[in-house]
Chains A and B, each alone.
Chain A
Amino acid sequence: MKEVIVKEFEMGIKEFKLDLLRDGGNAGSLIPLLQSAQDSYGYVPEKAINYISEFAGVPAAEIYGVVTFYSQFRLKPLGKYIVKICEGTACHVNGAKSIVNMLLNELGIGVGETTDDGMFSVLSVACLGCCSLAPVMMINDETYGSLTPDKVRKVLKEYRKK
Chain B
Amino acid sequence: MTEIKVGLGTCGISAGGYGVYDELKAVKENKNLEFDLKETGCMGMCYREVLVEVNDEKGSWLYANVDKKGVQKIVEDHIIGGNPVDEMLVKAGKNENEDPFFEDQERIVLRNCGVIDPNSIDEYITNDGYKAIRKVIKDLSPEDVIKVVMDSGLRGRGGGGFPTGLKWKFTSGAEGDSKYVICNADEGDPGAFMDRSVLEGDPHSVIEGMMIAAYAIGAENAYIYVRAEYPKAIERLRTAMGQAEANGFIGKNIFGTDINFSIKIKEGAGAFVCGEETALIASIEGKRGVPRVRPPFPAVKGLWGKPTNINNVETFANIPWIILNGAEAYASMGTEKSKGTKVFALAGKIEKSGLAEVPMGMTINDIVFKIGGGIKDGGKFKAVQMGGPSGGCIPASMGDLKIDYDEITKTGAIMGSGGMIVLDETTCMVDLAKFFLTFTQNESCGKCTFCRVGTKRMLEILERITAGKGEEKDLDLLEELSYKIKDSSLCGLGQTAPNPVLTTLKYYREEYEAHIRDKKCPAHNCPALIEYKVIPEKCTGCTLCARNCPVDAIEGSVKEIHKIDPEKCIKCSLCYQACKFDAIEKI
Contacts and interface: CB of A to CB of B under 8 A. Distances in A.
Pairing of A with B: yes
Interface of A: 26-32, 34-35, 56, 58, 65-66, 69-73, 87-90, 92-95, 97-98, 101-102, 105, 125-134, 136, 143, 145, 148-150
B286 A129 contact: no
A4 B284 CA distance: 25
B423 A93 contact: yes
B289 interface: yes
B261 to A, nearest CB: 19
Contacts, number: 148
A130 B423 contact: no
Given A35-B228, A66-B286, A70-B270, A133 B191 contact: no
A129 B193 contact: yes
B289 A134 contact: no
Given A70-B271, A102-B572, A131 B285 contact: no
B14 A149 contact: no
B267 A130 contact: no
Contact of A105 (B191, B426, B550): B550
Contacts of A127: 189-193, 229
Given A35-B228, A93-B421, 18 more contacts: A29-B286, A31-B266, A31-B283, A69-B288, A72-B269, A89-B419, A90-B353, A92-B432, A97-B573, A126-B188, A126-B272, A129-B193, A129-B230, A130-B11, A131-B348, A143-B14, A145-B14, A148-B577
A155 to B, nearest CB: 14
B572 A105 contact: yes
Nearest to A68: B288
6 contacts: A28-B286, A31-B267, A34-B269, A65-B288, A69-B289, A90-B191
A1 B517 CA distance: 71
Nearest to A89: B191
B269 A70 contact: yes
A128 B231 CA distance: 11
B263 interface: no
B250 interface: no
Contacts of B105: none
A89 B421 contact: yes
A129 B10 contact: yes
A118 B109 CA distance: 45
Interface string B259-277: 0000000111111100000
Given A65-B288, A90-B353, A101-B574, A72 B14 contact: no
Interface in B541-587: 548, 550, 572-574, 577-578
B388 interface: yes
A71 B267 contact: no
Nearest to B438: A87
Question: Most B CB atoms within 10 A — which of A65, A73, A90?
Answer: A90
Contacts of B228: 35, 72
Given A69-B271, A131-B347, A30 B286 contact: yes
A98 B13 CA distance: 25
Nearest to B191: A89
B47 interface: yes
Interface in B220-279: 228-230, 266-272
